[in-house]
Structures are given as C-alpha cells and as structure tokens.
C-alpha cells in the first residue's frame, strides 16, 4: 500500500498541511513536531511523489519546446538550434513530444506554464482559437514554428513560405515532363500540410496540368499513411508518374508500397518530398527534396524568447520567414519514353 500525506497526518492527528510543510521545507513548524513527522515518515516508508513536486517548482532560466514527433530529424535539428541559443544565454531546455496529439500538447503546455518557463517554442498540431487565446493570457512568450496557430491572435512565428516551397517542388516535377502528378499530405487543419497542397495545386493550374482529385491523398504525417494511400493508388489501372509527399515519413511509406509492387524509383514513378534528410548518404536513390533550415528556425525562435526576457515590455511580434532549398537528386531524374 502506498503511504500518502493523509496517512501520516491521521496517525499523528495533525493537519496534512503541517506534514506538507515539513516534507517540502516550506513554512515554520516547531522542532518537536518536525522531528516527530520525520520519524513517522521513516517508520511508514513514505516516498514523496517527485513528479508532483517537480510541477510545483519553478524552472527559472528554462525554455520549453513542444514538438509533435521527436523521431523526425527536422524537429531534432530545431531542438538543437533552440538548445544552442539557450546554452549561450545560460538557460536549459525541457523538450516534450506531443505525438501528434492535441490533448497531450495542451497538457504539456499547462505543465510548462506551471513550471514558469522563460518561454515556449511550439510546433502545434492544431487546436481551437480559444486554446491559443489562453496561451496569450499566460504572459509567457510563445514562438510558433512549422505548424502555425489558426487564430487571429498575434504570436511570434518562425517558418518558411510553404506555399512557395510546395509550388517549387511541384514545378520541378513539371519541368521533368510529368503530367500525372499525385500528392500525399498531412491533416488539413495543420498549416504546413494545407499550404504545401495549395502550392502544389497552384503550380499545376499555372502550367495547365489537370489536378486529379483521386490522386490527392490526405493522412497523418506518418509512414503508415504514405504506405496505405500509395497502396490504394497502386490498385488502380492508371498510375501517377510522380509522387509529391509533404514530408519524408509519408514518402518513405509510399516508396515501400511502390517497391513491394515490383516497381522502381524513378524508372516507374518519380518521388519528391520535404525534409528528406539522409545524412548517411546510404539511401538509394537519393531523394529530391525541399530542405528547411531547421537548426536556424530553432535558433531564431530561441533568440526571440531571449529578447523578450531581457525586455519584458517588448510588445512587437515577429514573423520570420526563411528560405528553404530545393535539393535535386536521383529520385526525380528525367526518364525517357513517358
């Protein structure tokens, strides 16, 4: 049986608050009572709940970071950027993984607010406008990266122009001679997914290419979604000649389905995506990709928070839009005879 504060208080016939003051060393308790409580704690084998206690402690000089997927190399680089700036300013960093779950995101925000972090860098997975209004009222600087809040409230933002990036990536495929283009993207309540699809559509419209609604796949930013959507397309008689994926996980899932079908990339289907970050150089074919300056995004987000900590009266909100790079590789090379 787990011993709780109320059990100690009941045995000694004293208040729970008195026991709590002794355990947390907060407030005056006379020596005899303190000694008796400490003795009883030892006898009963009481173990304090460190998680609950940690929530009550302030985290001075600490930045909070919430991302939807720690296994994604993009977010890992963002965190490194935040951490670099934090260390330069003698701050530590608490990292939370929301796992693409808005409820977990909200819980982590509340946890970090309770810990009174200096500021919070967050790649949100959605949420209603009322939620972001609550964030605003907290008085703690929030810097949004990647996915942006769907609210009229002003926040600091560090991002890329996802519409233009989506346009440029689709344009590369068009320039390779492709007219049967498909896209796999993420949830449309997330700005990155919606804007990349918008850029894709705009490029096809500008170049007089039919947009095949049957080849617009919407899922989660996970390999499973890419695999499942691609598998459904592979059952059709007509196949796309090129796949545009809104992130690398979606593309890797799609590639798995393509290879299992006995098809090749790019010989049968060309493939491009966002953030294909193969540092090993072992992936074949090498993927054509839009690469975001993830480390810089994190560093700038951290710098914004540092500026607001030093000047708490600073009410100006910054929107920093960085330029991504299109890296052309083997996965989209021109194929003859299409």
Count the Cβ atoms, other than its own, within 10 Å of residue 136.
14
Indicate yes or no: pTM above 0.85. no
1-5, 57-61, 210-214, 331-335: segment of lowest average pLDDT: 57-61
CA distance 333 to 260: 21
**How distant, in Å, are the alpha carbons of 3, 241, 266 from that of 176?**
69, 11, 11
According to the model, what pLDDT value does residue 296 have?
98
* Residue found by looking up tokens 């990036």 in the block: 165
According to the model, what pLDDT value does residue 1 have?
58
According to the model, what pLDDT value does residue 329 have?
94
According to the model, what pLDDT value does residue 53 have?
54
Strand partners, 185: 218
According to the model, what pLDDT value does residue 128 have?
65
Residue 1 half-sphere exposure toward CB, CA atoms < 13 A? 5
- Chain-centre distance for alpha carbon 193: 13
The mean per-residue pLDDT over the stretch 109-115 comes to 85
Q: What is the CA radius of gyration of the chain?
A: 26
Structure tokens at 326: 């299109």
According to the model, what pLDDT value does residue 111 have?
87
The mean per-residue pLDDT over the stretch 70-81 comes to 95
* Domains of the chain by start residue, with CATH: 5-55 (1.10.260.40), 62-161+294-323 (3.40.50.2300), 162-291 (3.40.50.2300)
Q: SS3 sequence, the chain? A: CCCCHHHHHHHHCCCHHHHHHHHHCCCCCCHHHHHHHHHHHHHHCCCCCHHHHHHHCCCCCEEEEEECCCCCHHHHHHHHHHHHHHHHCCCEEEEEECCCCHHHHHHHHHHHHHCCCCEEEECCCCCCHHHHHHHHHCCCCEEEECCCCCCCCCCEEEEECHHHHHHHHHHHHHHCCCCCEEEEECCCCCHHHHHHHHHHHHHHHHCCCCCCHHHEEECCCCHHHHHHHHHHHHCCCCCCCEEEECCHHHHHHHHHHHHHCCCCCCCCCEEEEECCCCCCCCCCCCCEEEECCHHHHHHHHHHHHHHHHHCCCCCCCCEEEECCEEECCHHHCCCCCC
- Given a cut of 80, is residue 294 above it in pLDDT? yes
- Given a cut of 80, is residue 153 above it in pLDDT? no
According to the model, what pLDDT value does residue 194 have?
95
The mean per-residue pLDDT over the stretch 13-41 comes to 84
280-284, 299-303, 308-312: segment of lowest average pLDDT: 280-284
The mean per-residue pLDDT over the stretch 23-49 comes to 82
């Amino acid at each position: 049986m787990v011993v709780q504060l109320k059990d100690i208080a009941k045995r000694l016939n004293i208040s729970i608050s008195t026991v709590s003051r002794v355990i947390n060393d907060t407030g005056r308790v006379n020596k005899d009572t303190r000694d008796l409580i400490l003795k009883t704690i030892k006898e009963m084998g009481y173990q304090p709940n460190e998680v609950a206690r940690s929530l009550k402690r302030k985290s001075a000089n600490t930045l909070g970071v919430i991302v939807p997927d720690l296994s994604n190399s993009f977010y890992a680089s963002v965190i490194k950027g935040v951490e670099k700036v934090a260390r330069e300013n003698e701050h530590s960093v608490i990292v939370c993984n929301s796992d693409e779950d808005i409820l977990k995101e909200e819980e982590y925000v509340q946890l970090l607010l309770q810990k009174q972090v200096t500021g919070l860098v967050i790649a949100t997975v959605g949420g209603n406008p009322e939620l972001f209004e609550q964030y605003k009222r907290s008085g703690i600087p929030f810097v949004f990266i990647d996915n942006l809040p769907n609210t009229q409230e002003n926040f600091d933002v560090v991002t890329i122009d996802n519409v233009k990036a989506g346009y440029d990536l689709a344009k590369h495929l068009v320039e390779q001679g492709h007219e049967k283009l498909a896209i796999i993207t993420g949830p449309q309540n997330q700005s990155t997914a919606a804007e990349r699809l918008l850029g894709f559509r705009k490029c096809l419209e500008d170049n007089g290419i039919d947009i095949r609604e049957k080849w617009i796949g919407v899922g989660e930013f996970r390999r499973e979604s890419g695999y499942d959507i691609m598998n459904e397309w592979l059952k059709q008689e007509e196949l796309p000649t090129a796949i545009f994926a809104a992130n690398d996980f979606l593309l890797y899932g799609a590639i798995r389905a393509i290879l299992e079908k006995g098809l090749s990339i790019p010989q049968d289907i060309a493939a491009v995506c966002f953030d294909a970050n193969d540092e090993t150089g072992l992936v074949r074919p090498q993927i054509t990709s839009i690469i975001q300056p993830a480390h810089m995004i994190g560093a700038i987000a951290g710098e914004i928070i540092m500026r607001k900590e030093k000047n708490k009266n600073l009410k100006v909100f910054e929107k920093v839009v960085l330029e991504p790079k299109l890296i052309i590789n083997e996965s989209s090379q021109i194929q003859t005879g299409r």
